[in-house]
């Protein structure tokens, strides 16, 4: 028996696979003890528009308009657990009372306009911190504007980048404590789920990947050693997270570089994540090296999510160039993933959920203020 993974190409009402699931994009799903109204996840998208880590009205409008459309889960952009963990000066943080106050205002609004649940992605940029915003070039900041960065090892992300400080025992303890503090703030703000960022070449991924991790202590070398710190972070967060709030881990399934972190290691890691209390695995890829060779294409990461789901039994979220409603629905119906995450599509069309509901002849919540538009569509 063999399985064909349909990356995208979706024919109306027909899905080419040996089986067909009755569950689709607009069916409810339970993540831990949290029930989502549909299986659409708005992936975290950095806006690079915060001031000292604090969100503002830009974020309110950006996330608020998406919430009006009613996706099942909206994940707040990568949020640094300490100031040194921000990717850029404009990145969101959750390390001060002001950060918490403004983010809570935005979360409250998003949850007031429909049935969307709100998650937050907590992370630390590690050696990829202290960089320019993408539209400023995306390179390492110059010496005058930069700040001290940290990583699993003292090797730079790329030529011309700053050299990070290798986290010692006290540093590891400090960063772990910052993850715990940010989790407690997240709970106070009223988030519905927490996602830990262990992908895209950021700090936790920097421990996982042998391309970056050159340590010779108990946190480097072997697979078991390299996964130790991310698991310690997960366990520390899980310890203070109320049982009703699910915990998600975002992973890069492969570095797309020979000799790097790969799908087999991610699958083994995912099994351990589930055993440690993780509720869902969000499967992305890449980001650890400028030498990566990514075969971009429609739903190009979905087959990796499907592999992890099949081999571990984990609840998985597929992401990456998923753009069309029938494509997204087919990923769910063919058992490749439990949820799909979209990012850029929601920047192009914050009401993508309504578009998908119409294409799939499904129902989605529409606030009464907008219902008259629907009557004539």
Residue 34 burial (CB count, 10 A): 18
Q: Please state the separation of Cα 134 from the chain's center in Å.
A: 19
- Location of structure tokens 């998985």: 316
Residue 182 near residue 94, CB atoms below 8 Å: yes
Torsion of CA 5, 251, 282, 321, to 10 degrees: -60
Residue 317 near residue 283, CB atoms below 8 Å: yes
Residue 145 burial (CB count, 10 A): 10
Cα gap 271→313, rounded to integer Å = 8
Cα gap 219→212, rounded to integer Å = 12
Residue 312 near residue 12, CB atoms below 8 Å: no
Crossing angle (nearest 10°) for helices 228-240 and 263-275: 30
**Residues carrying an active site annotation:** 202
């Amino acid at each position: 028996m063999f399985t064909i993974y349909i990356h995208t190409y979706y024919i109306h009402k027909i899905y080419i696979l040996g089986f067909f699931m009755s569950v689709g994009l607009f069916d409810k799903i339970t993540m831990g003890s949290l029930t989502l109204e549909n299986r659409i996840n708005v992936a975290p998208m950095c806006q690079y528009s915060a001031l000292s880590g604090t969100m503002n009205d830009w974020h309110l409008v950006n996330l608020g308009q998406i919430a009006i459309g009613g996706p099942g889960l909206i994940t707040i952009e990568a949020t640094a657990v300490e100031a040194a963990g921000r990717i850029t000066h404009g990145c969101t943080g959750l390390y001060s009372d002001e950060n918490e106050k403004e983010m809570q205002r935005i979360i409250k609004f998003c949850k007031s306009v429909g049935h969307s649940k709100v998650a937050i992605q907590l992370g630390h940029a590690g050696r990829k911190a202290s960089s320019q915003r993408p539209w400023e070039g995306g390179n390492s900041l110059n010496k005058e504007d930069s700040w001290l960065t940290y990583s699993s090892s003292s090797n730079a992300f790329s030529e011309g980048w700053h050299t990070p400080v290798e986290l010692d025992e006290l540093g590891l303890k400090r960063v772990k404590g910052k993850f715990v503090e940010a989790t407690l703030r997240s709970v106070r703000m009223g988030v519905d789920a927490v996602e830990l960022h262990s992908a895209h070449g950021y700090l936790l991924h920097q421990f996982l990947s042998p391309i970056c991790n050159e340590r010779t202590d108990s946190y480097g070398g072997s697979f078991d050693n390299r996964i130790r710190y991310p698991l310690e972070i997960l366990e520390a967060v899980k310890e203070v997270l109320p049982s009703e709030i699910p915990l998600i881990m975002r992973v890069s399934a492969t570095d797309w570089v020979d000799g790097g972190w790969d799908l087999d290691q991610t699958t083994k890691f995912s099994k351990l994540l589930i055993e440690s209390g993780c509720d869902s695995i969000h499967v992305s890829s890449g980001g650890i090296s400028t030498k990566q060779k990514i075969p971009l294409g429609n739903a190009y990461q979905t087959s990796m999510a499907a592999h992890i789901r099949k081999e571990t039994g984990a609840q998985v979220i597929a992401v990456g160039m998923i753009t069309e409603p029938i494509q997204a629905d087919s990923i769910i119906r063919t058992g490749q993933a439990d949820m799909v995450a979209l990012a850029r599509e929601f920047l192009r069309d914050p009401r993508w959920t309504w578009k998908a509901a119409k294409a799939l002849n499904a129902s989605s919540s529409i606030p009464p203020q907008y219902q008259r538009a629907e009557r004539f569509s």
